[in-house]
Chain A
Amino acid sequence: MSSLAQSQLRETFELNIGPQHPATHGVLRIKVVMDGEYIDRAEPILGYIHRMHEKMGENRTWNQFWPNMGRLDYLSAIAYNHCYAGLMERALGIVVPERAEYIRVITAELNRIQSHLLGFGAYIMDLGGFTPLMYAMDEREQILDLLESVTGSRLTYCYFRFGGVYNDIDDDFITGTRAFLKRFRPQIDLYHKLVTGNVILMDRLIGIGPLSPEICRKYGATGPVLRGSGINFDIRKNEPYSVYPELDFDIPVYHECDSMARYMVRMDEMGQSCRIIEQALNKLPEGPVMAEKVPKALKPPKGDYYYAVEAARGMFSMRTVSDGTNNSYRMRLRSPTYSNVSLFEEASRGMLLSDALAFLGSLDPVIPEMDR
């Protein structure tokens, strides 16, 4: 065989990324078939941290399932609390006091900011910049302290109850949150100055990992991934729950469909969350934080119930099938990253390996939530 004919042979090789790799943000493994520096096929392999939460939902009572809600997405656990609370309140017809709903929104938005902060820091670290993580961690620590003072835990929150929240917020929390907002707002501009305008970052993100609105739809992508592809969809606006309709905020949408767009959506969302928290603090009504009549033994009527919330990574929804007893007949959890990462295989075809990692980071996966 001549040397020319030989060079036209297409040789591929397999490469394993993860399960222990910093760029996969946890124990995700990606089996890649490489054609030189380019990806032929990249198949995400899940299940390294699978805990069968859905089965746990079936063999625990409704109340006993609460702690599981903090252990799916450990970065935006309050949104998951919100979903479970909303689901069961829908099933049982519990009316939640207004103060409790405001507290829910305040804590959920604080939680969203800290999730995006870590997402921002870790993402830049994936791309080789270590310092921004330190800045992000500094701010994030303030939020964790605030949330710890009211929920009792730093990450795995189990704060909501059916009918309200278990602990009222105090003046320390309110003044602390106001002080945080005052301190945090200029920081977002600082991040943009430090990071966003950086030419290396722009080269690594702009035009990388294009996701058309069509592929997002086919795969059920939601959250910043969808909004980075130019679609204005946010459960908080499109399917309003809690007291979000009473608050004034915008949904950041970018039409570039690339990794930079998804990054910018997250950055802008932090500013919008600040707006929400500030308004909610101003409007915070007096009153109880728990509904008065919540039955001890919960027995939702037969049938199935569905509830969706906007978590930091997209739409988290739950479907429960009740057979009228005190535990669920079937508990289904729909986690946003699961759908967001499922498009990775199709979208990463033909991409440079280094670009694919930048692309994966822009999907902001949280593995325990995918594996459930």
Chain B
Amino acid sequence: MDRAKIKKELEKLAAEGLPAGQPQEEAPVVVQAEGEGEDKAKAKAKKEEDVPRKNGLIETDYAKRGAHLDVQINPDQVVKAAELLDSEGMTIDMVTGVDWIKEGQFEIIYDYSYTAGGPAFRVVVRARVDRNKPDIPTISHIYGGANWHERETWELLGINFVGHPQLEHFLLPEDADFFPLRKDFKP
């Protein structure tokens, strides 16, 4: 695990997703995907003028927050982030969904950590999706452990992990037709 490299790569990734960001020189397939991401990001930026946080990387104060790096990226970049952190030997801890109902968004938080010995290193990756169309690609093909976490997030919040092999009811009863962690949920 190379902390400086992870930081640099994640910074680059977050910059790619910014509407004003210059397209990076990468393989052609990636450029195509980036074009898509830019369009989305532009649309997103127009829609949400007063979103508190823009895409980008923050070095958080570990003593106060409990994480070392905190990066926000576009939803279509989470797979790339997972691949990057996987190649550096990081582990997925959990996947959390947060319902920001006032902003009309869901936030998906991926917690990565380094569990192969040595001092702990925690990376938080965030992405925001539209609440009316909550689609985000799955990372369960990279991290098997993300499978259950994503399934649970789908079940409790209704965030659709595109490409997930088994989005079926998990903790709730089979006939549950509600999302209990959504802020507009009425029991």
Contact = CB atoms under 8 A, between A and B. Distances in A.
Do A and B interact?
Answer: yes
A88 B109 CA distance: 20
Chain B: interface residue count, which band?
35 or more
A220 B65 contact: no
A213 interface: yes
Contacts of A239: 119-120
A52 interface: yes
Interface in B110-127: 111, 113, 115-120, 122, 124
A371 interface: yes
A52 B180 contact: yes
Contacts of B124: 306
Most buried by B among A219, A222, A305: A219
A329 B103 CA distance: 14
A217 B117 contact: no
Contacts of A55: 180-181
Chain A: interface residue count, which band?
35 or more
Given A46-B171, A334-B94, A219 B144 contact: yes
A90 B64 contact: yes
Contacts of B181: 54-55, 58, 330
B98 A90 contact: no
A343 interface: yes
A308 B124 CA distance: 14
Interface string B58-95: 00000111110000000000000000000001011110
B118 A238 contact: yes
Contacts of B119: 238-239
Contacts of B92: 220
A317 interface: yes
Contacts of A47: 169-173
A222 B115 contact: yes
A138 to B, nearest CB: 35
Most buried by A among B63, B94, B115, B173: B115
Contacts of A54: 156, 181
A343 B67 contact: no
Most buried by A among B116, B124, B144, B145: B145
Nearest to A93: B64
Contacts of B144: 215, 218-219, 342-343, 346
Nearest to A213: B116
B89 to A, nearest CB: 7
B117 A238 contact: yes
5 contacts: A46-B171, A58-B181, A90-B65, A233-B115, A235-B120
Interface of A: 46-47, 50, 52, 54-55, 58, 87, 90, 93, 213, 215, 217-222, 226, 231-233, 235, 238-239, 303-308, 315, 317, 319, 321, 329-330, 332, 334, 338-339, 342-343, 346, 371-372
Interface of B: 63-67, 89, 91-94, 96, 98-99, 109, 111, 113, 115-120, 122, 124, 143-145, 147-148, 156, 169-173, 180-181
